[in-house]
Amino acid sequence: PIYDCSELKEINIPASVKTIGDFAFYMCKSLESFIVPNGIKEIKENTFAYCEKIKSITLPEGLVTINKNAFDFCTLLTAINIPSSVTLIDDQAFSNNQSLESIVIPDSVKNIGEMVFKDCGKLKKVTLSNNIPALKRGLFKHCSSLEELKIPDSVKVIENGVFEGCSNIKTISFSKNVRTIADGCLVDCVKLEKIEVDVRNDKFHSKDGVLINSINKELIYYPAAKADKKYDIPDDVHGIAAYAFYNVKALTSVRIPKNVSYIARNAFEPAPDEILIAADSPATKYAKKYFTKYTVYDNRTGKTKNVNKNLILYIFIAVVVFLLASLMVYKKIIVKKLKSKASGEKEQVADKAQDEEIERLTQKETEEQQTVDIEHKTEKVSE
């Protein structure tokens, strides 16, 4: 392999070559164009990865497989023609191609891997094969220029993060055959206004542009750019999925009905200003866990009760501070009393010692005087 030949600008490969190995032209940063010879059946892993100046690549008819990272970081490649003989495009094959604007995936392709077009920031138009069964993880992640995409009827599975960060998509449509839509597949689609689902789809449906799982009654995604300020979750919804209300801009109030039995941890991020929850809804236990403030309403009377965990927290903190302050004052008083008592006892000890010393001196003087008197008497007797 011509690995890391950073000054190589041009190379001609003879038609007799039938195989090009892994990493063959990896990091040939000056290579500007390349014609893959006829007879090559496979573009192997990282073959042209980091060929940052390559603008044109010609792929031959008869090519079957484009492997992992084959054209990763070909940052000046604006377009590429995929031959109708290709059946597999593997993980990250065209990721980080920041100049790629359009691509057509022929119907011969039966499988497209994960993150194939990740971080293709200028990609505006993609035509997908009508024979792929799934849109795999992160397929169009951070394709910020992608404005529309027709999801083929063959697609049954849409994995996590497929459209994450596709910040220009306004509408997305799911066919009748989609059976799985992962949580978070539409995260950061900040201009998404509406989600459509074929009415013949018995697994999912759209109500007012909001995606709902028809089987388990779970609200999956509320479009981030939907213009409504208030939203009443339908009464037949039983759960709210992770990222369901992620980064929603206009929404200021949400009403959660009594049938909602669970709310995923990241369902509201950030939470709207007002969250109304039916008093008899099991979702209140989730609200206590995940919401700073919410309002409980009674279905029968219509009365509401605000629950503000911040206020409760502030009261708790105030009580703790008061108790600590009281304890400190009490401690100071006790310490002062103990010091006073100790000082008094010290003075008493000093006074006692002084009295004992005086008594000792007095006794000594008495003894000395007695001795003098005895001596005086003795002298008199001697005389």
pLDDT (mean) for 74-88: 96
Query: With the C-alpha atoms ordered 347, 348, 351, 353, is the resulting torsion angle positive or negative?
Result: negative
Q: Which H/E stretch holds residue 352?
A: helix 309-382
Whether the per-residue pLDDT at 64 is higher than 90: the answer is: yes
How much is the pTM? Answer: 0.76
pLDDT score, position 287: 84
Whether the per-residue pLDDT at 378 is higher than 60: the answer is: no
Whether the per-residue pLDDT at 2 is higher than 90: the answer is: no
The band of 328, judged by pLDDT with boundaries at 50, 70 and 90, is confident
Question: Per mean pLDDT, which range of 21-30, 173-182, 323-332, 348-357 is the poorest?
Answer: 348-357
Residue 375's CB is within 10 A of a number of other CB atoms, namely 10
pLDDT (mean) for 12-36: 93
Kindly report, residue by residue over 122-174, the tens digit of the pLDDT.
999 999 999 999 999 999 999 999 988 899 999 999 999 999 999 999 999 99
The band of 309, judged by pLDDT with boundaries at 50, 70 and 90, is low
Q: How high does pLDDT run on average in the chain?
A: 86
The CA distance from 369 to 373, in Å, is 6
Residue 240's CB is within 10 A of a number of other CB atoms, namely 24
Kindly calculate the radius of gyration of the chain based on its CA atoms and give it in whole angstroms. Answer: 42
Q: Judging by beta carbons within 10 Å of its beta carbon (0-12, 13-18, 19+), is residue 310 exposed, middle or buried? A: exposed
Whether the per-residue pLDDT at 49 is higher than 60: the answer is: yes
The band of 351, judged by pLDDT with boundaries at 50, 70 and 90, is low
Pick from 260, 259, 255: which is nearest to 240 by CA? Answer: 260
Is residue 160 within 8 A of residue 136, CB to CB? The reply is: no
Question: Per mean pLDDT, which range of 242-251, 262-271, 321-330 is the poorest?
Answer: 321-330
Question: Per mean pLDDT, which range of 115-119, 190-194, 247-251, 361-365 is the poorest?
Answer: 361-365
pLDDT score, position 118: 98
Tokens 């697994």: give the residue.
Answer: 203
More confident site: 289 or 94: 94
Kindly report, residue by residue over 38-48, the tens digit of the pLDDT.
999 999 999 99
Q: How many residues does the chain have?
A: 383
Q: What is the dihedral of CA 145, 151, 157, 161, to 10 degrees?
A: 10
pLDDT score, position 301: 62
Residue 216's CB is within 10 A of a number of other CB atoms, namely 11
Whether the per-residue pLDDT at 335 is higher than 50: the answer is: yes
pLDDT score, position 381: 44
Is residue 87 within 8 A of residue 108, CB to CB? The reply is: yes
The CA distance from 297 to 257, in Å, is 10
The CA distance from 237 to 223, in Å, is 17
The CA-atom distances, in angstroms, between 130 and each of 64, 137, 152, 153, 244 are 17, 18, 5, 7, 29
The band of 184, judged by pLDDT with boundaries at 50, 70 and 90, is confident
The CA distance from 159 to 223, in Å, is 18
Kindly report, residue by residue over 198-236, the tens digit of the pLDDT.
999 999 999 999 999 999 999 999 999 999 999 999 999
Q: Across the chain, which distance is largest between two alpha carbons, in Å?
A: 159
Asked if the bond preceding 37 is cis, omega within 30° of 0, the reply is no
pLDDT score, position 373: 57
The band of 327, judged by pLDDT with boundaries at 50, 70 and 90, is confident
